[in-house]
Amino acid sequence: MSPAKPTRQIMLDGLWRDNPIFRQVLGICSTLAVTNVVLNTLVMCVSLTLVTAMSCMTVSLLRDWTPKNIRMMVQTLVIAFYVIIVDLMLKAYWPQMSRNLGPFVGLIITNCIIMGRCEAFAGANPMRPAFIDGLFSGMGYSFVLLAISVFRELFGMGSLLGYNMPYFSTAYWDNWIIMVMPPGAFFALASIIWLCRSIKMRETKS
């Protein structure tokens, strides 16, 4: 990797070209379970993006002082540190949301994407690009999950962010209960991956 990767490039890579979800289905573990409601997903995605950006920055800051053979442990502790901050903030200021998300905030620690970005980019780059890389990887990941949650809430409950939507909450629309249940998440994610991969294939062909 060239050290002077332009900022625009880093942003685009994180959002689209290297999007962790389409490239390999990585890191969906901790977040997919809360995508049945848009609001929960939004809070979860903001937390995850913040944790990714801050951990990448910290790992990059510490990169010259971290011995090679214990760097995984250091990265895990850095990530855990930020996750604890997010968890305590949610508990203090938004207890209802903290209960809704349950153990999934804590599970951000084991999200493969954060570790992957720390290992692949932040460990070898200065602070500013590392922060931007973490931020945009997190955002690229978030927009896929938000798309999933919009479909799930709209089709499954006829609402968005808790507000009833015109056509979908009337008698003309039968709620697809399956979309709110776990299998709906698998189907929605599979469809989105299918769509994005097809678009990408067309891009590379032309």
Partner 1 sequence: MNAVGAEVWLAMVTCFAAIFTQNILLTTFLGMCPFTSVSREVKTASGLGGAVIFVMTCTTLLNWLAYRYVLVPLELEFFRFILFIIIIAAFVQFVEMVIDRYSPKLYQSLGIFLPLITVNCAILGASLFMVIREYSFIVTIGWGFGAGVGWFLAIIAMAGIRQRLNESRIPEGLRGPGITLIIAGLMALAFIGFTGVLN
Can you give the binding site for partner 1, defined by CB under 8 A? 24-30, 32-33, 73, 76-77, 80, 83-84, 87-88, 102-103, 106-107, 109-112, 115, 178, 181-187, 189-190, 193-195, 197-198, 201
- For every residue of the chain, which 3-state class applies, written as one string? CCCCCCHHHHHHHHHHHCCHHHHCCCCCHHHHCCCCCHHHHHHHHHHHHHHHHHHHHHHHHCCCCCCHHHHHHHHHHHHHHHHHHHHHHHHHHCHHHHHHHHHHCHHHHHCHHHHHHHHHCHHHCCHHHHHHHHHHHHHHHHHHHHHHHHHHHHHHHCEECCEECCCCCCCCCCCCHHHHCHHHHHHHHHHHHHHHHHHHHHHHHC
Indicate the residue among 100 and 169 with the shorter CB distance to partner 1. 100
* Residue 135: CB minimum distance to partner 1, A: 22
* Residue 76: CB minimum distance to partner 1, A: 6
Indicate the residue among 107 and 146 with the shorter CB distance to partner 1. 107
* Residue 130: CB minimum distance to partner 1, A: 21
* Residue 70: CB minimum distance to partner 1, A: 12
Indicate the residue among 129 and 138 with the shorter CB distance to partner 1. 138
